Chain A
Amino acid sequence: ETGVTQTPRHLVMGMTNKKSLKCEQHLGHNAMYWYKQSAKKPLELMFVYSLEERVENNSVPSRFSPECPNSSHLFLHLHTLQPEDSALYLCASSQGTYMNTEAFFGQGTRLTVV
């Protein structure tokens, strides 16, 4: 148990559906991240939030829409996804975004787009 909880753990959605991934951290951290891990590829950073403000959007398509209502919660809203968006989506949190802080990851949501 890392203190970062992601729900759901598994999700199957059609290309016309709208769904949301949820991440919650109980560590008092003020920075949160979304990563994507496709099969046989390294983790790709998608979004960074610091103090509830988005500080990085890594050229992610607009069909992925993040939301950070407070420092403990992070959402990733999904709509009109493509099959190639099927991947493991990982949330992480850290205390600040500085060089010497460690990040804590959730167990991820395994997303399948059909």
Chain B
Amino acid sequence: DAKTTQPNSMESNEEEPVHLPCNHSTISGTDYIHWYRQLPSQGPEYVIHGLTSNVNNRMASLAIAEDRKSSTLILHRATLRDAAVYYCILRDVEETSGSRLTFGEGTQLTVNP
């Protein structure tokens, strides 16, 4: 399985942009890059995903490097509610069972008021 590497923790101030990095140097051509986040005492929540091009949605933006070996999740204006563990995941495919989400340690984001 292709693996991802994220910093263990990051801090941000409220209303400032946050850039959460993810390295995935062994990514294959058909791996999608997914981001999920997990707020305290809740299940993970989908944030965004992409393949090659940068993606935007109402929650965040995903910037993907040209060689696809890294990506960055961008929260444009952090709020206190964005404090969570953010997971960068490569969606891998196995013939017998289809695709599955494999979670790593993630990045704990702290947002300071």
Chain A, residues 18-48, CB within 8 Å of chain B (1/0): the string is 0000000000000101010000001101001
Give every chain B residue within 8 A of A96 (Cβ-Cβ): 98
Binds A, one of B9-17, B19-27, B42-50, B76-84: B42-50
Number of interface residues of A (CB under 8 A): 27
Q: Interface size bucket, B side?
A: 20 to 34
User: With A42-B103, A42-B104, A43-B103 in contact, is A98–B42 under 8 Å at CB?
Assistant: no
Chain B at the A interface: SS class? loop
- Quick one: which of B34, B43, B93 has the most chain A CB within 10 A? B43
Chain A, residues 87-104, CB within 8 Å of chain B (1/0): the string is 000101000111111111
- Quick one: which of B91, B100, B102, B105 has the most chain A CB within 10 A? B100
Check A42–B105 contact: CB distance below 8 A.
yes
Give every chain B residue within 8 A of A92 (Cβ-Cβ): 43-44, 101
Give every chain A residue within 8 A of B34 (Cβ-Cβ): 102
What is the interface of chain A, defined by CB distance below 8 A to chain B? 2, 4, 31, 33, 35, 42-43, 45, 48, 50, 55-56, 90, 92, 96-108
